[in-house]
Every structure is written in structure tokens, then in C-alpha cells.
Chain A
Amino acid sequence: GAGVSQTPSNKVTEKGKYVELRCDPISGHTALYWYRQSLGQGPEFLIYFQGTGAADDSGLPNDRFFAVRPEGSVSTLKIQRTERGDSAVYLCASSQNPNNEQYFGPGTRLTVT
């Protein structure tokens, strides 16, 4: 079956621009997570959705970052007024429920110039 997919795979944007990153979880998975991985580091948690609601957004670095999951499936991570420090690989993961293992997508590499 299909795994977690993320689009685009690469995104280059100019400082100050707005970007949207998309995650398509495994069908039927109710839990969805966003992580950010900077070069040479492990992934850092950003936000967790259970169904349509953000159950834990404690990892979002500031109010320029926002994520939605309106129908409980696809999620979009939105970054306003991008900064060079936002450059990283953004990873999405889903699980059947919060107690099950998380399956990761290939990530979106964001480069802010």
C-alpha cells in the first residue's frame, strides 16, 4: 500500500515569502505529526493532529508557523514570512492511532535564500 507522501520534495523560496508544505498520510491513519530536521540533527517535533484537531502544537517555533488538517486526512504546514533559519527538511508522519508506531514520509527540503 501507499506510504506517507509529501509534496513538494524540494522547495526554494526567498526570504519573506509564504510557503505551504503538504502531507498525505497513510489511509485510515488518524494521528498525524510534523517534525523538522535541521542539518546534522535529529527530527524535532512541531505539531500533532488527532483527526482534524491539533492536539499538541507546542513544538511550533513561533506564530509564523501554522498547520491545518481540515478533513482529518491531508495536512498542510504553512510558514509565513520565511526566514533563512527556517531552512530544513520538514517531515510528516502518521500512525493508526497515537499508541501505534509512526511511519514517516520522505520529507520536503525547504531552502530559504
Chain B
Amino acid sequence: GEDVEQSLFLSVREGDSSVINCTYTDSSSTYLYWYKQEPGAGLQLLTYIFSNMDMKQDQRLTVLLNKKDKHLSLRIADTQTGDSAIYFCAERRDSWGKLQFGAGTQVVVTP
């Protein structure tokens, strides 16, 4: 089973902010990632954060990392209907780049 945990579902109104949460277990993880998966499509890398950072902002996306609590979050500002998808957080645990994924959070954006 996955050691990376995410809530399974999030419903948000168009224009509001979305916050997707993730907890991971390996304190030695070097990078943490957020991927987006739309129906029938592959995984799209949205953003990532290095473990020595607390925050990273990229346009509408803000990633917060609390290393002490092993908690990662992704905030999407001004959520649009095109943001409806499944969002996966993943941790990279070794130098090979092997990723450990959570089960994904399905985000549904309503008008």
C-alpha cells in the first residue's frame, strides 16, 4: 500500500481557491511533486519542491512544505473548470528518482 496519504475527494466552486493536502512518511525524501491526471490522459507534472524549501509559487499554484510534520499542500488560486482532475502527490526517496505516489485526490470544480 501507499505510505503517502491524501484525502480522496475535494469539491470546489469555480473562482474559489482549492487546497489539496498530502502527508508522507520518509523524512529523507529529497523532492516532493504534484502531478495532475485528467480522464484518459497520462500524468502531467505540475510543480515540485525541494525538501529544503518551505514554499514555492508558480502562477496560480502555491506549494507549502512542513518538513517537521511531513505535510505537503497544493493551493490552486482562482480554480477553473479545467482544473477538474485527479491530483497526485509523490515523494522521491532515493538517488534513482523512484517515486512513491499517494492514491490521488479527485478535484471537482462546480460552476
Q: Given the interface contacts A42-B4, A101-B45, A104-B43, does A48 sit within 8 Å of B98 by beta carbon?
A: yes
A31 within 8 A of B: yes
User: B4 → chain A, closest Cβ, in Å?
Assistant: 7
- B contact residues around A43 at 8 Å (CB): 43, 88, 99, 101
| In the complex, chain B residues 91-109 whose Cβ is within 8 Å of any chain A Cβ | 95-104
Instruction: Output the nearest chain B residue to A41 by Cβ-Cβ distance.
Output: B103
Docked-complex contact B97 and A31, CB < 8 angstroms: yes
- List B residues at the A interface (Cβ < 8 Å): 2, 4, 33, 35, 41-45, 48, 88, 90, 95-104
Count A interface residues, CB 8 Å: 28
Q: Which residues of A contact B45 (CB under 8 A)?
A: 101-104
A48 in contact with B33 (CB, 8 Å)? no
Within 8 A of B (CB), among A20-50: 31, 33, 35, 40-45, 48, 50
Q: How far is the CA of A51 from the CA of B9 in the complex (A)?
A: 39
- Cβ contact within 8 Å between A40 and B103: yes
Most chain A C-beta atoms within 10 Å of own C-beta, residue among B90, B98, B100, B102: B98
Contact assessment for B99 and A55 in the assembled complex, using a CB-CB cutoff below 8 Å: no
Instruction: Given A42-B90, A101-B33, A106-B41, verify A55-B96 contact (CB < 8 Å).
Output: yes
Central interface residue in B2, B88, B96, by most chain A CB within 10 Å: B96
B44: which A residues are within 8 A, CB to CB? 104
CB <8 Å contact, A101 and B48: yes
**Contacting pair B104 A42 (CB below 8 A):** yes
